Chain A
């Protein structure tokens, strides 16, 4: 644990920019994030609401090529993509966003390793920031996190007057700050244990989801759902994707990996016309069940970090925390 003056932290950031690192910081109002070119553009504010789009774009872009193909007379040449290796540092990630990275890393690495994800994730350093924002849509404490949760962060910052209090949590974080140790003053601070007042019994929710697959609840809770993909696309843990081919000319093209969502009507449509999830109620059931039961059964992690984005941004104001509360009350 270390203390560092804000201006010294800025000096470190400028030095990192100079040595070719890509620094991602939130914009002035916290609504979105961007690459910054100097520490003057840094925006470290613990009162920001979670940004509209999540940070997953950095390791799992909305579209990316998998390989190029070129058809010749009687053959096809496949050209490889060079894996991304740009060193990226995200500054000021909320606990709900930082945790999401390690959560989705599990699905991208079980058995087969998705190196499109890994090459970006391995080269990304996440500097988390203790969060002081809470509204009625947040429920990070219900899913095992809290406003000072350090899970998923390589380095964690707490604001302390004119200083930052820094925790260096991983090898990556240690190596990053190695050349700058002179700026850091070692200090032990007593960690205040967060008040984690939980009202949801996640085991109970899981059991109810298992036992009530055909319940009318799924219909009544999602009747107003429009079936767009907004919730899945802005969610930091949703990771479903589509693979399509795109041609430049008759002979050449590339295969793309794009964001996809189980909420779309045609997500499970077979070429034969059969659609196992043919009404929105079934698709919404999949969203809740996947996040709170299936992913947990498979990877021991919830596929939700309680950031509340989906609820804030839903065009018809469906609130995922309300859904879980209703299940919990059954």
Chain B
């Protein structure tokens, strides 16, 4: 009989500090059989354990097209994330996943794709960005709009540069007013207002939005104004999750379990949920 709560072991092979409180781990699954058979889709998440402290939910931030390793990014917030920060390269953690649904990659093909992210919300979206870029010719125009509170709060800085230097995508990076440094060459303004300024073409375009609740709250009406309908706006919901398997009840909103029927939802589906997330 299977034990669905038992994690597999993953070793930390690289640590990258994105911002003062956000860190990325590059992990290698240790069980060779498991690693060989492991696949996932962009948007899915996993439960990462520090044995002795507990388990924590983060999305899988690396692309499914790159299978040698798994990346996750987390912000220091509570018991388990504090414990994760004390770990070094070579330490092992538990990994349980992939869980949840995924971004509708197939439906995005042959369309324009607009990525909008704020702060650490870039992590789940980044997985999809690389997935799309690794299959670039299957998609039309690709636009990335990303913002954070200040320059030091931007995550995946090295990749932002890479995306900005690519000719086949349009990348707009912004910081909140007051968050710029003297040599900042990007935009200055809140993400929703930058989206309005960029004014992307909503015809035949899918928008992927992820960020803090307040950013989402102000971005959605702007997308609607530009002409996106509710089914073309997709977001991923952060919620308190425990088992990841649709049983413990922690992430239950209405008749939906965020860990099973989500965390990826269209704006239309989100509106139908009781507003308690």
Contacts and interface: CB of A to CB of B under 8 A. Distances in A.
B6 A78 contact: yes
Contacts of A35: none
Interface stretch (A49-57, A89-97, A220-228, A255-263): A255-263
B3 interface: yes
11 contacts: A66-B6, A76-B51, A80-B6, A107-B247, A112-B246, A213-B275, A243-B55, A260-B249, A260-B250, A270-B240, A290-B249
Interface stretch (B90-98, B161-169, B216-224): B90-98
Contacts of A242: 242, 248
Interface stretch (A114-122, A131-139, A174-182): A114-122
A267 interface: yes
A30 interface: no
What DSSP secondary structure best describes chain B's contact surface?
A: loop
B247 A271 contact: no
Given A112-B247, A297-B255, A76 B1 contact: no
B255 A293 contact: yes
Contact of A213 (B213, B239, B274): B274
Interface in A49-101: 66-67, 69, 71, 74-76, 78, 80-81, 83
Interface string B1-43: 1111111010000000000000000000000000000000000
Contacts of A289: 254, 274
A245 B242 CA distance: 12
A66 B255 contact: no
Interface in B235-268: 238-240, 242-243, 245-250, 252, 254-255, 260
A162 interface: no
A74 B92 contact: yes
A69 B52 contact: yes
Interface centre among B1, B51, B52, B260 (most CB of A within 10 A): B51
Return the 7 tightest CB-CB contacts between A and B, nearest first. Answer: A271-B78, A240-B249, A271-B77, A297-B255, A115-B1, A69-B51, A276-B276
A290 B6 contact: no
Contacts of B77: 271-272
Nearest to B77: A271
What DSSP secondary structure best describes chain A's contact surface?
A: mixed
Interface of A: 66-67, 69, 71, 74-76, 78, 80-81, 83, 107-108, 110-116, 118-119, 213, 239-245, 247, 253, 255, 257, 260, 262, 267-272, 274, 276-277, 282, 286, 289-290, 293-294, 297-298
Contacts of B4: 112-115
A296 to B, nearest CB: 8
A251 to B, nearest CB: 9
Nearest to A70: B51
B177 interface: no
Contacts of A297: 255
Given A76-B94, A271-B81, A243 B53 contact: no
Nearest to B261: A298
A76 B50 CA distance: 10
Contacts of B250: 240, 260, 267-268
Contacts of B53: 245
Contacts of A108: 247
Contacts of A268: 240, 250, 276
Given A213-B274, A247-B52, A290 B246 contact: no
Contacts of A110: 246
B186 interface: no
